[in-house]
Structure 1
């Protein structure tokens, strides 16, 4: 451990109470809006995708207030609605175009809180206010609900609430990391590097749309000082069986495939007068499930795993429950592994035998990729096809090697060892996510020439796409996200802050 490593570790502990304060408030903010009438400024969807405004405004104010940027001009909202801030060392004697560019990326929206269910099932824990009555908590239910919870005598370190693990802890770790990097600027924490931190919007609804905006609207024609060498995604990298704080270097992509089956409605007593889209559509779903079980049309990757497909949503248009319906619309959630092509995945559904049978019977079957039509909290319409490409950074890439070195320097020496196998580990674990993250917004076609990417940035090219090197490191467990009782351990938060504060300078020095 160098002197700089030791100082980063020290300040991450010093500033941990501040980090917990910011996290608790970021979780709590929607409580000010969800129960108020709209004419009094209320918003029942506060904190969800496209409704992040109050939370982001708070974070922008606090970034300036706590000194996580050098100047108020160094933090802003882009047109999409992402909160962006940047730090660097202007006195290091290195030209901006010659510096390494490190992006931090974390999303600020959450899924529905289900607040009443939290109080009903957990007792003393509120989705926004957190742990309000420790003695009233149904701990047995909490342990059955979550993938990982530390022993009862370690609960003092837990921060509860919707978004604690997914992904507000990651955003807060970015803020504290830039604060610490600035405080250690004179000791070389920012030498040769520019950090651009993003707190993105609408990730839960539209994975990676914030980064998509950057890749398609900001970086084309931009100078090298804006183009990332590496992106650090701060989504939680804990696994309930393997341990907390993994270094993740990849994830599968995903897409939505929508099937609309249109038939002819009639009275339910005379089904021969109609064409039933629900029955023909159900046959399509059944065949699709069988073909997935047989792995018919799915590739497998030794690192990311095999592609998957599952029916995930449905809507039925029918006059009544005693009629043949008019239209049945449903979607498949299709997870894409390396080498799988979105159009081929759509055609695999288009070519199901049950689709042909429905068409031959006179029904109309449309198989499409839906377009995201939501509008961000800043009024921007992404309008993207709901296709989100996967990615993998080679394990020998300098970004991954640096991440392991930084883990060994500022994380491992400060791990609180425990008999809990799902707890923090002293040895770096390089692995992958099961779910999706903002990382899906960065890949672009390999033949895209709109962004000038110098060879020195060592972007990854694979499967017809290219992207900056990416890796993940964040507090929180995948198995705890989107669940009642969601929580994060502040001891993990402290180490995530230390990792992020140290990584940029270490990456610049070693690459």
Structure 2
């Protein structure tokens, strides 16, 4: 394989990828509102001569290159979060600016930059004849990830594949283009969205003792949720903190995997209440808890931890702990209801698909993370990358929760941009990253050794619920 030619071809597409990314950014595309950016991507794929371009019922944009029964997929979610407080941005988040190194705007790192590299990575494969015989390349621009990560791939596996005569077993592996700070990522923590509801009794605010204030009850629960996240795991505390899962005493089977992924966390992300008026005692209160799950934690154990909090037990039947469901309509109007549970996963570093990316990186760029260097820390990538291992894991969650976590389809990550720019104001990504990722994607299929694929590519995968979601 001519790696210099691959790098040179990717470099020649630098301007095209930058333009394409700017065009995607110019179309606001929050979850369930991705239609304009989908059409932008469709037009670019068709202009580049993709063999087939289609939009599935949920609104995912899917481009195909090559022929064959075996599939290598490259996934990028194309929805973004909103901009938050506009005053925190120094320029228009949807027009922004670019210079010789950086592109500014919402979605640059998280994660339309990945889509730009993926679309052109497959184009380079076609240009240079790099698609192996018997394989085809599936480039996915997935929707609604920010709302419900992985749901888009649940739809692809359960709806799109059967409708097109494809079995999920035909997918050799998926490359996630989520930002990886120049690293190759083989897993991440899972998560779930928990709701706690508390009942009270309203009365006139002039005599609050006649009622039962649900907000006061929730105040006790909030302190216990905070303690669960922040406490140590020793006998000095009644509520042992989530750090306990890094200790073989509490997590004998999976503490090493937990140490790789990092400890689980929980935080209260939303609060709601009902009350007859501002002159009355609140008769209900509810919170949402964002729960990040490390190896060894299950959806059952996470629910039980909340149920076992002293304050929850104190208020007994007045408290209900549950897991959220998701059912927002896609931009197409399609509704795919699923649970808000996103399983933890890790692939073995020795797995054939992970090694294909490692081999490609070594051949193209060496064995250390690469990135743009600048004296200005805002524009510098290397302060985020220097000294970190090439093969590592994400801090946040990705569509891998369904691809690998739910369905066991091998998944691995390498994408432009930085995790720290995700959801932040004044988001940027680096043009060098776009070029580097496109080159690596193009090289990977020819380096993948299917004969080395084994049945145990998964190092850890969390158990699923009893819901058979189709």
TM-score by length of 1: 0.78
1:380 pairs with 2:334: yes
Q: Which runs of 4+ in 1 moved over 6 A?
A: 423-428
Q: Deviations over 1:362-401 (max 9, x none)?
A: x622111111121111111121111011211111111111
Deviation at 1:338, TM superposition (A): 1.5
Select which of 356, 361, 376 maps to 1:407. 361
Whether the aligned pair in 2 keeps the contact of 1:404 and 1:428 (CA below 8 Å) is no
Q: Does residue 298 of structure 2 align to residue 341 of structure 1? A: yes
1:485 aligned onto 2:423: no
Which of 251, 275, 287 aligns to 2:224? It is 287
CA contact (8 A) 1:115 1:126 kept: no
SS in 2 for 1:402: helix
Change (3 A) 1:56 1:475: same
Candidates 5, 8, 24, aligned match of 1:7: 5
Please state if 1:164 is matched with 2:101. Answer: no
Q: Residue 189 of structure 1 contacts residue 502 of structure 1 at CA under 8 Å; is this kept in 2?
A: no
Indicate conservation of the 8 Å contact 1:246/1:473, yes or no.
yes
1:182 counterpart (126, 129, 138): 126
For the residues of structure 2 that align with 1:116 and 1:247, how far apart are their CA atoms?
33
Change (3 A) 1:365 1:115: closer
SS in 2 for 1:229: strand
Deviation at 1:63, TM superposition (A): 0.5
Deviation at 1:417, TM superposition (A): 7.2
Alpha-carbon distance between aligned partners in 1 of 2:232 and 2:75, rounded to the nearest angstrom: 37
> By how many angstroms is 1:418 displaced?
4.2
Instruction: Note if contact 2:215-2:282 (Cα within 8 Å) is conserved in structure 1.
Output: yes
**What secondary structure is seen at the aligned counterpart in 1 of 2:295?**
coil
Equivalences for residues 154-233 of structure 1 within 5 A: 156-185=100-129, 188-219=130-161, 223=166, 227-233=170-176
CA distance, structure 2, for counterparts of residue 328 and residue 308 of structure 1: 23
Residues 347/428 of structure 1: CA separation in 2 closer, same or farther (3 Å cut): closer
Superposition pairs for residues 60-139 of structure 1, below 5 Å? 60-67=42-49, 69-70=50-51, 74-88=52-66, 90=67, 96-97=68-69, 99=70, 101-114=71-84, 116-119=86-89, 122=90, 125-131=91-97
Q: Give the CA deviation at 1:304.
A: 0.7
The two structures, once aligned, show a CA RMSD in angstroms of 2.5
* Equivalence for 1:431: 392
Q: Secondary structure at the match of 1:467?
A: coil
Q: CA deviation at 1:415?
A: 5.2
Partner of 1:241: none
Conservation of the 8 A alpha-carbon contact between 2:352 and 2:450: no
Match of 1:236 in 2: 179
Query: How many residues are matched?
Result: 424
TM-score (norm 2): 0.84
> Structure 2 CA distance, aligned partners of 1:349 and 1:320?
30
Instruction: For residue 215 of structure 1, report the CA deviation from its aligned partner.
Output: 2.8
Distance 1:265 1:427, change over 3 A: closer
Q: Equivalent residue for 2:191?
A: 254
Q: What are the residue-to-residue correspondences of 1:344-493 with 2, within 5 Å?
A: 344-359=301-316, 364-412=318-366, 418=373, 421-422=382-383, 429-443=390-404, 467-493=408-434
CA drift of 1:474 comes to 0.6
Q: 1:315 to 1:417 in 2, by over 3 A?
A: closer
1:191 and 1:508 in contact (8 A); partners too: no
Runs of 5+ unmatched residues, structure 1: 31-46, 91-95, 133-154, 239-244, 446-465
The gaps in structure 2 that reach 5 residues or longer are: 234-239, 247-257, 375-379, 453-470
The equivalent residue for 2:35 is 53
In structure 1, distance between residues paired with 2:177 and 2:299: 27
Q: Secondary structure at the match of 1:302?
A: helix
